[in-house]
């Protein structure tokens, strides 16, 4: 059996690779704004050593909308150098770390099970399962290979993990470093030389994604408290090197977070800065006052009782609890998932629906299993603490990106449940049960793959900002024919779409950032860069007014929603005084963009 394990793991890694790499340049259907921002930042570093805002080798990248953590951006520099600002250039690091994470997860679970022991103070013994009568049917030996293999397989086919491995999201890289850190830590308890590697991996996670900036201090504190005796037995030499590694790797990002703009995003998204809280408190206090006295006027001083029942602390607490409960809801985990179509399919939850049975079974088996009590405490803390950074943000209860630290624990419990159920059936039924469980998962996986490859490209086309790259590439091909190129601001802010898809020279971008404004007749004050202007005209009659703002040497990139006509399906609706350079359609056939100029041949 043990000899087959490496081959099984290789097979799982091949499955994981296929699911994360095949047609990576086609599904998702386009690079969305954040991916283009990431790609252009990496391109700017490649060409100038500065981010596109002009900061030299920054610890937080200054983007147009926020400050971004640096490690994924730097890791994308080689792939952008090879493939340009393209799906492969931007997404390949996420896919690679996603695949690597499956192998690290297998290694972590294997190491975790090596430490399986009996109750505290007892001798080491195999993990075992009991049947309904309480007799031992089989044993899950401390080094039994099946559970790590199952865990790796379930992570490899996890919709949640696949979704984030196929786009320019940082969290697969973050999770891989975290899992590696925990794996090295468990090994370090037996051989102290691994502890500095653990400290370095843990310290790298905040470099990747901001969720780790809050979760990692909580997790490391718990880790030290739970394993303090074992840690101090590792030897002073390795403890010293671990502290040094943690300080050297972690302190720069910690300093930049506190003093360099790294908290700006959280400040904007936090429940503590929600602008609706104060007006809601005022309304609730007024309502209570009117119940007591219908004649009370707006602006009256609230009573002490009103202040006790309606205040910021209570509202923040209610928002925290609501978000926290949403994390573990069937709606999020099994029915619909994250409502953002970049984060999930919406046709299913973040997990397969069949996973619910095995998750509950796994939780029960894990609680009663003879797994080391400290390991149980660590896993339980991990489950309970993982949502905290997310639920402190306004929409964090169902935000799959910010909840990514939770995924490995759920996968582990699902694998634990599948294996526990298989162990608890009699020998003559084991093969039948294994085939039944495998068959259900194969069917579920096929249905998921159908949704992902067939339904998802159409349903998510607008979420992935399809059409921008095609539109800007057309502009690049046509720019020598025009003196002015006006890019509509009617939809998404166009600047980063232009910069990324055009691969505009970063040095020129930095020299002009922030962009100067000029008075463009008919448009007002607009920002511009060379011959490129970013503005939308005031179209009183839709497309039929556009000719008033164009000439034969001006090209206008229009968002299709600016017009009330579908030129693709009804070409006759195009006014004769306009010339259509190109129409760009979504995969569904609906219009996305039009490139238009004045028709000199009317």
Residues 327 and 451 occupy one common structural domain: yes
What tokens were used for 339? Answer: 């409502």
Residues 109 and 15 occupy one common structural domain: yes
User: What is the extent of the structural domain holding 483?
Assistant: 468-598
Residues 501 and 438 occupy one common structural domain: no
Q: Would you say residue 50 lies in a domain? A: no
Residues 215 and 354 occupy one common structural domain: yes
Residues 235 and 353 occupy one common structural domain: yes
- Final residue of a structural domain among 459, 488, 521: 459
CB atoms within 10 A of CB 564: 11
Q: Would you say residue 55 lies in a domain? A: no
Q: Would you say residue 37 lies in a domain? A: no
Burial (CB count <10 Å: 0-12, 13-18, 19+), residue 135: exposed
Whole-number Å distance between alpha carbons of 561 and 285: 42
Torsion, CA 333, CA 339, CA 342, CA 346, rounded to 10:
60
Strands (E), 433-516: 484-487
Q: Of 574, 573, 594, which is closest to residue 584 (Cα–Cα)?
A: 594
What tokens were used for 497? Answer: 């779409």
pLDDT at 268: 83
At residue 99's C-alpha, the angle toward residues 93 and 100, to 5°, is 85
Residues 480 and 423 occupy one common structural domain: no
Q: Of 76, 256, 105, which is closest to residue 167 (Cα–Cα)?
A: 76
pLDDT at 600: 80
How many domains does the chain contain in total? 2
Residues 572 and 472 occupy one common structural domain: yes
Residues 571 and 492 occupy one common structural domain: yes
Residues of the chain where predicted confidence (pLDDT) is lower than 70? 1-5, 115-144, 602
What tokens were used for 259? Answer: 């003093």
* pLDDT 10s digits, 169-191: 999 999 999 999 999 999 999 99
Helix (H) or strand (E) holding 18: helix 5-21
Q: Would you say residue 168 lies in a domain? A: yes
- Asked whether the beta carbons of 369 and 127 are under 8 A apart, the reply is yes
Residues 490 and 567 occupy one common structural domain: yes
One DSSP character per residue, 56-88 reads BS-SSEE-SS-EE-SHHHHHHHHHHHHH-SSHH
Q: Would you say residue 300 lies in a domain? A: no
- Asked whether the beta carbons of 64 and 37 are under 8 A apart, the reply is yes
Residue with tokens 């104060």: 278
Q: Of 309, 237, 255, which is closest to residue 280 (Cα–Cα)?
A: 309
pLDDT at 264: 78
pLDDT at 495: 96
Cβ-based neighbours of 104, under 8 Å, separated by 6 or more: 176, 179, 180, 183
Residues 454 and 481 occupy one common structural domain: no
Residues 440 and 570 occupy one common structural domain: no
- Asked whether the beta carbons of 386 and 336 are under 8 A apart, the reply is no
pLDDT at 144: 60
- Asked whether the beta carbons of 510 and 48 are under 8 A apart, the reply is yes
Residues 368 and 406 occupy one common structural domain: yes
């Amino acid at each position: 059996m043990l000899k087959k394990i490496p081959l099984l793991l290789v097979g799982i890694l091949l499955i994981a690779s296929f699911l994360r790499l095949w047609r990576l340049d086609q599904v998702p259907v386009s690079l969305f704004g954040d991916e283009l921002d990431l790609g252009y930042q990496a391109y700017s570093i490649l060409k100038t050593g500065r981010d596109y805002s002009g900061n030299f080798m920054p610890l937080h990248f200054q983007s147009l909308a926020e400050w971004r953590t640096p490690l994924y951006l730097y890791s994308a520099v080689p792939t952008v150098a090879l493939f340009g600002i393209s799906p492969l250039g931007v997404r390949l690091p996420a896919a690679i770390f996603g695949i690597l994470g499956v192998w690290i997860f297998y290694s972590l679970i294997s190491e975790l099970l090596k430490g399986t022991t009996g109750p505290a103070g007892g001798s080491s013994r195999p993990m075992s399962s009991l049947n309904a009568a309480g007799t031992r049917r089989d044993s899950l030996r401390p080094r039994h290979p099946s559970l790590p293999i199952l865990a790796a397989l379930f992570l490899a086919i996890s919709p949640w993990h696949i979704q984030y491995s196929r786009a320019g999201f940082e969290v697969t890289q973050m999770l891989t470093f975290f899992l590696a850190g925990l794996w090295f830590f468990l090994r370090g308890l037996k051989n102290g030389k691994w502890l500095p590697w653990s400290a370095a991996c843990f310290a790298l996670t905040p470099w990747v994604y901001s969720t780790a900036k809050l979760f990692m201090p909580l997790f490391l504190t718990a880790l030290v408290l739970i394993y303090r005796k074992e840690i101090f037995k590792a030897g002073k030499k390795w403890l010293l090197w671990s502290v040094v590694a943690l300080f050297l790797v972690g302190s720069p990002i910690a300093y930049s977070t506190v003093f360099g703009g790294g908290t700006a995003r959280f400040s904007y998204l936090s429940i503590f800065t929600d602008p609706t809280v104060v007006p809601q408190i005022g309304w609730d206090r007024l309502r209570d006052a009117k119940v007591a006295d219908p004649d009370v006027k707006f602006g009256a001083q609230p009573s002490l009782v009103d202040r006790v029942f309606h205040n910021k602390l209570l509202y923040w607490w209610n928002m925290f609890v609501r978000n926290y409960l949403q994390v573990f809801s069937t709606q999020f985990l099994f029915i619909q998932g994250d409502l953002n179509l970049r984060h999930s399919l919406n046709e299913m939850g973040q997990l397969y629906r069949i996973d619910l049975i095995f998750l509950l079974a796994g939780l029960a088996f894990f609680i009663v299993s003879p797994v080391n009590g400290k390991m149980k405490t660590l896993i339980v803390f991990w489950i309970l603490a993982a949502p905290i950074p997310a639920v402190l943000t306004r929409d964090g209860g169902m935000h799959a990106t910010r909840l990514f630290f939770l995924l490995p624990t759920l996968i582990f419990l699902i694998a634990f449940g599948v294996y526990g159920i298989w162990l608890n059936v009699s020998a003559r039924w084991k093969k039948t049960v294994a085939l039944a469980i495998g068959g259900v998962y194969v069917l579920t996986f096929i249905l998921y793959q159908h949704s992902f490859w067939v339904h998802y490209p159409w349903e998510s086309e607008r979420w992935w900002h399809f059409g921008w790259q095609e539109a800007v590439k057309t502009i690049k091909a046509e720019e020598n024919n025009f003196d002015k190129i006006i890019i509509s601001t009617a939809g998404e802010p166009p600047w980063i779409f232009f910069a990324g898809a055009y691969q505009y020279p970063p040095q020129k971008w930095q020299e002009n950032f922030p962009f100067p404004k000029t008075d463009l007749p008919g448009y007002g004050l607009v920002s511009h860069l060379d011959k490129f202007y970013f503005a939308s005209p005031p179209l009183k009659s839709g497309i039929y007014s556009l000719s008033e703002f164009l000439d034969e040497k001006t090209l206008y990139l229009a968002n299709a929603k600016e017009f009330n006509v579908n030129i693709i399906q009804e070409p006759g609706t195009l006014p004769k005084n306009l010339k259509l350079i190109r129409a760009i359609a979504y995969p569904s056939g609906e219009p996305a963009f039009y490139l238009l100029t004045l028709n000199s041949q009317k």
